[in-house]
Structure formats: structure tokens, C-alpha cells
Amino acid sequence: MKTWTGILLMIVLAVVTISTTSAARTSNEPKQLNIDDPSSQTDGVVASNIETNETSFASIERTPVKKENVSVAPENEKVKLYPMQVEGSGYIYNGMILEVNGQTREFSKWQGEGGSYKPEVHELDLNGDGKKEIIVLFTAGHGTGIYLGQAHIIDPDTLEEMNMQPLDEVVKQHMQSKVNVKPGKVTIDVALDGVKLAPSEIEEETDGITYHDELQFGDVVYYSVENGKLEVTASGAYGPAGYDGDLTFAYVYQDGEWKAENVEYHTEAYEDEYYESFD
């Protein structure tokens, strides 16, 4: 009898041990979320939020961009430009986002106009090296006698801005000018790369008007893509809203920087209506 009692006791202990081990293993297994269970869905969101950087998570919640505010490169529909924020009844872009083949980068300092002055974006091989660059053009502001165009050249692989020779450096390097004022007459002498050009003689009322000592560039600047090149037209002002001619050039890549080439200066008679159209 003692022998059977001992055997029976050993069987009971074995069953208890197996049940305890099974329960312990079950408690250590990862919890499986049931997507049909609302409480499980909540757990999933919390878990995702823990592993997601708050900045990138916030960018996912960005307000959708209106179609009319998206600029698409005519050369590649996967190259796009759109505003970070739209202000002033949809006419001011406060910061812009460049998207190239699914990769995006924010340029918070880019501020331009929308509407009829909607920015442009292009994908072109500007220097013929077989690699295409991204060109962004937009209007920073305009008014009577003023048009402030801006241009940026972007490396398509890194989305970094490439160095561009500023307009004031181009003027300083290539052009010399002198504004001479006499009663009822303004004479402008210009030399381009050391070569003197025919002087301009403008007859107008000069009393009470302050003139520049030399031509000033920067109040009227146009950038455009023409024949596969980024071209610039900047008007030279001799006084308040008085313009003598246009400095034109194209950008070429030299020594790690985009520099001006084919620099020319053209004079012509400007009409008041031309500048009034900037309003």
C-alpha cells in the first residue's frame, strides 16, 4: 500500500509542475494585437509613437498642399516644388519644399509669391556634364519699377544648394559706369570688361532729383531658363525708377561655382508702362 501511495503522490506532483511551467511560458510570450479590437488599435498607436521621432511624426501630419500651389518640372513630373506655408490669401509662400524623386528637403528661408507669379522648377543639365541639376525660380517681390526675381541651383543627389556668383559680384567684376547730371540732361558712361560703350544721353527734368553716382543693379532682376541655360537680365538704374539698360549673362559651372559668362550690356528706350506693369 505504501508503494502505490508513493507512486500516486509522484504523479500528482508531476502534473502540478507541468501546469506551472506551461503557465510561465505563456506569460513570457509577446502579446499579439487584434486589429479588430479597438483597445488593441490604441496600443499599436502608442507603440508606434514611442519609436517615432516627434519631429518626423509631426511632419506626417502636415496640412495637404493644394494642387494649384504645386509646381512640377516640365522635364520630370517627379520633381516638384510647393510651399511650407501659404499666407496672404494664397499669394505668399513662406518657405518651400523641394521634392526630387520622392526625396524632400525644406528651404525655410525661401519666401516668394504665388498666384500669377507661381514659382518654377526645372531639371536640366546646365553644364553638359551628363548630370542634371535642379533649378528653382521664384519672385521675391514686385511693384512699380521693381521686380525681384530669385534663382537657386540644387544638386539633385544631396538636395544641397550649389554656390552661385552673386549679381553684385558680377557687376563689380565686369562693369564700370558713371552717371553725370546737368540741368535737364543725364549722361551715362559705361565700360564692359574694359571696353567703353556708347554713352547714354537722357533728357529729363533733373531739379530736386537725387541720382546715383553709378548704375545700380538689383531692383529689377529676371531669371529664366532659355535653350538649356539659366539666363539673367538685370536693369541698371541711374536714379529713382530711372533705368538705362540691361546687363545680361548666363551661368556656367567653373571651379566649384556657377559663374557668369557671356556678359553683355544693352541700352534701349524704356516706357513707363513697362514698369507700371509690375504692380
Q: Tens of pLDDT along the chain (279 residues)?
A: 444 444 334 443 444 343 433 333 333 333 332 223 333 332 322 222 223 233 332 333 456 789 999 999 999 999 999 999 999 877 899 999 999 999 999 999 999 999 999 999 999 999 888 999 999 999 999 998 899 999 999 999 999 999 999 999 999 999 999 999 999 999 999 999 999 999 999 999 999 999 999 999 999 999 999 999 999 999 999 998 899 999 999 999 999 899 999 999 999 755 444 444 445
In this structure, are residues 176 and 190 in contact, taking their beta carbons and an 8 Å threshold? yes
Query: What pLDDT, on a 0 to 100 scale, did the predictor assign at position 17?
Result: 42
pLDDT score at 91: 86
| Residue pair 232/221 in contact by the 8 Å Cβ criterion | yes
pLDDT of residue 88: 81
Long-range Cβ pairs for the range 266-274 (8 Å, 24+): 267/197, 267/198, 267/200, 270/243
**What predicted TM-score, i.e. pTM, was given to this entire model?**
0.74
Distance set, CA 226 to CA 124, 182, 236, 258 (Å):
11, 40, 22, 16
Residue 26 one-letter amino acid: T
What pLDDT score was predicted for residue 63?
65
d(CA 274, CA 260): 26
